[in-house]
Amino acid sequence: MSERTIELEVLRYRPEQDSEPWFQTYKVSCPEEWVVLDALNYVKDELDRTLSYRWSCHMFVCGSCGMVIDGEPKLACKAFLRDYGNRIRIEPLANFPIERDLVIVMDDFMEKLESVKPYLIPKEEKSIDQGEYLQTPAQLKAYKQYSMCINCMLCYSACPQYGLAPEFIGPAALALAHRYNMDSRDVGRKAREDTVASHEGIWECSFVGACSEVCPKSVDPAGAIQQVKLTSAIDYFTSWLPGGGSR
Amino acid sequence: MARSHKAPFWFLFAAGGTVVAFVLPVMVLVTGIAPTLGLFEGAMSFDAMSAFVGNWLVKIVLFGIITLALWHAAHRLRVVAHDFGIRADAPVAGTVYGLAALGTLLTAIALLGV
């Protein structure tokens, strides 16, 4: 197993003692097979117990270890050291306030996520005795891609619109609204539309597409938002017709 | 939250984008580049083109291509202004959409005059 020494330049910010963020460099001897998260765990275990960052599953399922690695939003567990040089800069996700070191404050995202009602709104509630809500493979395929989101917020870090206009509901939440709208078991599109089709919703997106590029689960939020724009634009016109639209 | 009124402008933008992507390069080739290379000499004469544009179907198609391209460009410029951090959406939108509306009017007048 080949090893090399890597310098990790990690952003530090401890609000009780640092007046502003600064970079601390750790030298770590790393096997080539490691990911950035392994290197951070080594630092935490062996070199500096005060370093704070979020992680859990180590297999790109939980979405906890999102951070900016050499300028690009990545999951630290999916960023292989073999793809980087001998000096790696690690920063918290952009566009969010820093809570401590690499930990960001995610309250804004949580509020936006809630605002799009990201859960099934069935036509009529069934009791458990009445059985499952059945779905064909084709109906599953209609939304499956958008259901892969793990709420890692890399797309918010990459989105220049979210950086410019913090009120923007943002890629992941809008893609999840689309995920439930496309679900054959769901009738909640009307209930979501007031948020989704607002100024702060899909219409703030200018289709830069960075969200889809950084998404570790290939959700393609930019594509989802474009699809919602089309259906919402059709709603806008049909809403002036008797009985039309989702107003 | 209030529903946005961006939808109709986005619709023109999307339709215009499709037209610009598929039709405009061909138009530039046929009306701009080909004649300078001596192609379609007879067909591109003033008399032949006047008669061609005199047809109502041609007028409608040309009106669609030109005006949708204008509305596409207007919305794109509005978004570019936003991307550059110009947070004065109302005056920007008024100016670019106003220019597109003026272009639409002038196109209609020009086509009706043929």
CB atoms within 10 A of CB A231: 18
- The CATH code of the domain that includes A86 is 3.10.20.30
* Least confidently predicted of A106-110, A123-127, A240-244: A240-244
Which residues are A23's β-sheet partners? A11
- Classified by CATH at the fold level, domain B10-112 comes out as 3 helical TM bundles of succinate and fumarate reductases (1.20.1300)
Residues A92 and A118 in one domain: no
- Average pLDDT of chain A is 95
Residues A20 and A135 in one domain: no
Which residues are A6's β-sheet partners? A28
Q: What is the pLDDT of residue A196?
A: 95
Residues A169 and A142 in one domain: yes
Residues A91 and A161 in one domain: no
Closest residue of A to B75, CA-based?
A206
Residue A199 placed within a domain:
yes
Residues A123 and A222 in one domain: yes
**What one-character DSSP code corresponds to residue A185?**
T
Which tokens belong to A107? Answer: 């309250």
Q: How confident is the model at residue A245 (pLDDT cuts 50, 70, 90)?
A: low
Residues A158 and A95 in one domain: no
Closest CA to B81 of B105, B104, B97: B97
Q: Domain of residue A169: give its range.
A: 107-238
Which tokens belong to A229? Answer: 């724009």
Indicate the residue among A70, A104, A138 that finishes a domain: A104
Bridging pattern class, strands A87-91 and A66-69: antiparallel
Residues A162 and A179 in one domain: yes
Domain boundaries, chain B: 10-112
Closest CA to A202 of A173, A242, A241: A173
Chain B residues in contact with A232 by the CB 8 A cut-off are: 7
Express each pLDDT in A141-164 by its tens digit.
999 999 999 999 999 999 999 999
Q: How confident is the model at residue B59 (pLDDT cuts 50, 70, 90)?
A: very high
Express each pLDDT in A80-118 by its tens digit.
999 999 999 999 999 999 999 999 999 999 999 999 999
Between the alpha carbon of residue A16 and those of residues A12, A20, A22, A92, A239, the distances in Å are: 12, 10, 14, 18, 54
Sheet of A66-69, strands arranged across: A22-31, A3-12, A87-91, A66-69, A72-75
Q: Is the pLDDT of residue A1 over 70?
A: no
Residue A243 placed within a domain:
no
Residue A244 placed within a domain:
no
Indicate the residue among A104, A125, A144 that finishes a domain: A104
Residues A82 and A154 in one domain: no
Q: Is the pLDDT of residue A247 over 50?
A: no
Q: What is the pLDDT of residue B1?
A: 67
- Average pLDDT of chain B is 92
Which tokens belong to A138? Answer: 């084709």
Alpha carbon distance A133, A121 (integer Å): 12
Residues A59 and A155 in one domain: no
Whether B83 and A193 lie within 8 Å, measured CB to CB: no
Q: Chain B closest CA to A208's CA: distance in Å? A: 10
Looking at the complex, does the CB of residue B90 fall below 8 Å from at least one CB of chain A?
no
| Encoded amino acid at A19, one letter | S
Chain A residues in contact with B3 by the CB 8 A cut-off are: 193-194, 197-198, 236, 247
Residues A121 and A66 in one domain: no
Residue A85 placed within a domain:
yes
Indicate the residue among A104, A137, A171 that finishes a domain: A104
Looking at the complex, does the CB of residue B83 fall below 8 Å from at least one CB of chain A?
yes
Q: What is the mean pLDDT of residues B11-38?
A: 92
Q: What is the mean pLDDT of residues B96-112?
A: 97
For chain B, the C-alpha Rg in angstroms (whole number) is 17
Q: What is the mean pLDDT of residues A45-70?
A: 97
Whether B83 and A247 lie within 8 Å, measured CB to CB: no
Closest residue of B to A202, CA-based?
B4
Residues A91 and A77 in one domain: yes
Chain A residues in contact with B92 by the CB 8 A cut-off are: none
Express each pLDDT in B69-96 by its tens digit.
999 999 999 999 988 888 888 999 999 9
Chain B residues in contact with A195 by the CB 8 A cut-off are: 1
Looking at the complex, does the CB of residue A163 fall below 8 Å from at least one CB of chain B?
no
CB atoms within 10 A of CB A26: 19
From the list A199, A206, A229, the residue facing B83 with the nearest CB is A206
Whether B10 and A193 lie within 8 Å, measured CB to CB: no
Number of domains composing chain A: 2
Alpha carbon distance B64, A126 (integer Å): 51
Q: What is the pLDDT of residue B45?
A: 85
**Residues present in chain A in total:** 247
Chain A residues in contact with B4 by the CB 8 A cut-off are: 197-199, 201, 203
Looking at the complex, does the CB of residue A190 fall below 8 Å from at least one CB of chain B?
no
Express each pLDDT in B44-53 by its tens digit.
888 988 999 9
Residues A138 and A74 in one domain: no
Q: If phi over 0 gives left and psi between -120 and 50 gives alpha, with beta otherwise, what is residue A12? A: beta
Looking at the complex, does the CB of residue B2 fall below 8 Å from at least one CB of chain A?
yes
- The CATH code of the domain that includes A220 is 1.10.1060.10
